[in-house]
Amino acid sequence: MINKQAYCQRYHAPDNPYHVALGYGLERVYYFLRQHNAHIANTHVVVERRGKVEDDELELEFRRICDGGNYESAQLPFDLVFADKKSNSVGLQLADLIARPVGLSIIRPQQNNRAYTVIEKKFYRNAEGRYQGWGLKCFP
């Protein structure tokens, strides 16, 4: 989760917040796969098409991250797949359903958020059971 307002206030010339989020997301998926010894095989990452310019920028950033432009400078075993919105992808629908309650839980922590209460139990966790920074990364 990128708090865009705090991010823009903190950095003089911030990078694209969607690219920052992509990097953190890919790193966390890689950590999960590595923990389960599934990081050797290629994994398809499906993203929704947005437009030629946006798709080209996203693909360039995706390749930069996967080619060592990440926290560990690791080669990430991911392939990018663009899905048209009309494809009605179940995975993309699920991502949309999860993103809003998670974002609201950070932006408005005092607000009742029953969806987040359910989602929070599903986050990837470290050996001590913590999900902050593991299954949920908030920046800055």
Neighbours of 31 (CB within 10 A): 17
pTM over the 0.85 mark: yes
The answer for residues whose C-beta is within 8 angstroms of residue 21's C-beta and 6 or more apart is 1, 2, 139
Give CA separation, 57 vs 53, 87, 123, 131, in Å.
Answer: 6, 22, 29, 30
CA distance 40 to 78: 10
SS3 of residue 15 by DSSP:
coil
pLDDT at residue 30, rounded to an integer: 95
For the chain, the residue count is 140
The domain locations on the chain are 15-120
CA distance 121 to 18: 25
- Per-residue pLDDT tens for 89-132? 999 999 999 999 999 999 899 999 999 999 999 999 999 999 99
Which amino acid type is present at position 38? A
Q: Is the separation of the CB atoms in 46 and 78 below 8 Å? A: no
- Per-residue pLDDT tens for 34-67? 999 999 999 999 999 999 999 999 999 999 999 9
pLDDT at residue 28, rounded to an integer: 94
CA distance 133 to 122: 14
